[in-house]
Structure 1
């Protein structure tokens, strides 16, 4: 479902107190209103398996490269990270922060049209027993400021170790975590994270619940927002009528700055924590989401990675959920788990559902077009050349005229972006922790394009 309504703004600017021209922060507009791309679920370098480049400076730089206007800090429970945030951020609008100017890194000059706002966020991993079953649920918390984050962190430290991992693992019932959050900060927002991931989520097939009420009990009415995760999109979730009242958002859950924005949400709001929280909880100002193609997610289909088995829900059912190679139990994928809980037919469109679009990160598009890996020097050089010439990554993927891309790069890249915008891709689903593959070209087209480039 494309978001054809967004248009790029003109380049107006703000004046600083010293009279010098400041950096503009208008991004996208709809009918003259300001639009922000938000990525609220990320991690710092204090979380396990994250890049050491996950610093405020690099997060700010990559948010500008991507075109992200509002970014979560991640990991607010970690004392060292909180101290760094206090040192390097300054208050902007109410409840939002910006990186101090002396820490801002210079990069490609084409995306200097935006100062990213930071909102205090963090993820908690709850592992506990409830109703005779071990539950493993990840939760995203948005706090109204650093002071509130510090107060909640003190309470959580009495429960378990919050110093060894930016995403702490606590033996804390999600109901009790929500209660503690509300006591510390009544304005805070609690969002069940990547709700379908098999091993660590609210509805996870391996350790989750079948209903939100079973998890949160009397506090269920304080849950308004759900995070789709990489392996599902809103159209899949619309098949479950019990979830109609919840707002659906998307975030990257990035473990390195370059992964920011692989999923994101679109917000038409006045900049403030209350403006953000109102959009997330009521849907007013939440204009849609930017998604992975869900097949690219690591858990879209059922499967057994060790044996190379990937099954659709119907194929898994034919094999009774067992691997035909080793006989072991398959890891149930998101598509099958959603089918389990669905009470509507596939393809149902929720009338009040927000629009969304599926994208592939620009380096992956370039790699597919040139026939190299996304991490290769050739692809990275082309990526930064495009940013210098055409603006932020989201602007290139979604807005820049194809003719302008063609002038600035290999013609195959313009064709790849064209196919991406139209959804003309081949999808090879991910399974059991293995990312899926989104193909824009077949091998013959890439070979022909390479030869044409040499000629």
Structure 2
């Protein structure tokens, strides 16, 4: 029987069990143990993709958790901790001679043995295998082939982000076939500044499932974007079937921040955060030097009308509960004490039950969030947008 599962496939490790950095820009609290506790006990996420598992020390930490009976490897792939499955992933910064700059990709594997083999292979192409998102100098297609050889899933990451992405600055000029084999791609990760409607303006993406993930650099950001999938069990093989829409497995809904909240949504001047004029100058200070291209404008450059977009899962605009004005840490803790997890609060708890705990004003904000009704100020130039009360 198939059931609903919540999935976030892009979470970083900040520190390994020795206290050494993995993702330097990520929180020190982002350890494997803390990630799995947060996802299971507070967020209510059923499957998490941890994308720094290629680091040998991270692999050792997972192996020790299994040895101590705190986790176990699933027959259909994935590592089970408490109520949540860890999918072994790796984010890689690809430097391919066919591109003008780096592109981030995500590779996932079913078993520890697969990831160990992948880590050994990567160490021949990287300077420091212990760190996150390290530079890989080589063919992107060779990387795809190696991922498939090891039974993996291959996903281009946050494809519209202005930096280090497929369609961003330094990426391809027009089409993904300039660097990738489309037949070896399992899904496309949209990133925080785009949604399904925006991405479907590019016809070559119509064939792929879209995933919406948090790219979490702190525990609180886990599940700021996620998806609800229809699976039999929370395992690697079921996840892969859903991405490929096989055997009735599928993505049911995408939940993500309104793209206008993304820090790279609009083309603005990074100095004064004003929009550019038609001449490409800052409308406030007249500068052309500090203009940061936005995702919305980049998609317009690439848009095509070659075919009708496919029928997609609903894309529902949401933010984590901590983003709501007036909902501080103590109130969030009170909600979780009564209702278990953030997913329960956002999706399932009846309105009257919420009122009894946090009152009508905050309840209305949560109900608006549940229904995708969010008032906001848009972001751009590296600055996130903001949620408004009115």
TM-score (norm 2): 0.90
Cα displacement (A) at 1:401: 1.5
1:241 touches 1:343 (CA, 8 Å); kept in 2? yes
Aligned to 1:25: none
Structure whose alpha-carbon radius of gyration is higher: 1
Cα displacement (A) at 1:305: 1.7
Out of 238, 248, 256, the position equivalent to 1:275 is 238
Instruction: Give the unaligned 5+ runs of structure 2.
Output: 15-21, 66-70
Aligned to 2:294: 333
Q: Distance in 2 between matches of 1:398 and 1:276?
A: 21
1:266 aligns with 2:228: yes
Cα displacement (A) at 1:224: 3.0
Aligned to 1:81: 58
Q: Distance in 2 between matches of 1:331 and 1:308?
A: 9
Aligned to 1:360: 319
Aligned to 1:405: 354
Instruction: Give the unaligned 5+ runs of structure 1.
Output: 1-31, 102-114, 371-378, 443-455
Aligned to 2:47: 70
Out of 155, 160, 166, the position equivalent to 1:202 is 166
Instruction: Flag the 1:390–1:349 CA change in 2: closer, same or farther, 3 A.
Output: farther
1:91 aligns with 2:73: yes
Cα displacement (A) at 1:435: 0.8
Q: Which has the higher helix share?
A: 1
Cα displacement (A) at 1:349: 8.3
Out of 294, 308, 315, the position equivalent to 2:273 is 308
Q: Distance in 1 between matches of 2:297 and 2:25?
A: 28
3-state DSSP of counterpart to 1:41:
strand
Out of 38, 44, 49, the position equivalent to 2:7 is 38
Aligned to 1:288: 253
Q: Distance in 2 between matches of 1:321 and 1:242?
A: 32
Deviations 1:169-212 (A, max 9, x none): 222332221122223x0x21100000100111111144344211
Cα displacement (A) at 1:66: 0.9
Aligned to 2:208: 246
2:172 touches 2:178 (CA, 8 Å); kept in 1? no
Report the aligned-residue RMSD: 2.1
1:157 aligns with 2:114: no
1:209 touches 1:215 (CA, 8 Å); kept in 2? no
Cα displacement (A) at 1:229: 0.5
1:269 touches 1:285 (CA, 8 Å); kept in 2? yes
Q: Distance in 2 between matches of 1:127 and 1:134?
A: 9
Aligned to 2:179: 215
Instruction: Flag the 1:427–1:173 CA change in 2: closer, same or farther, 3 A.
Output: farther
Q: Distance in 1 between matches of 2:137 and 2:275?
A: 33
Deviations 1:389-420 (A, max 9, x none): 12211221122111111101132110111222
| Residues matched between the structures, number | 373
Which stretch shows the higher mean deviation, 69-78 or 157-166? 157-166
Aligned to 2:87: 119
Q: Distance in 1 between matches of 2:172 and 2:223?
A: 26
TM-score (norm 1): 0.77
Cα displacement (A) at 1:427: 2.5
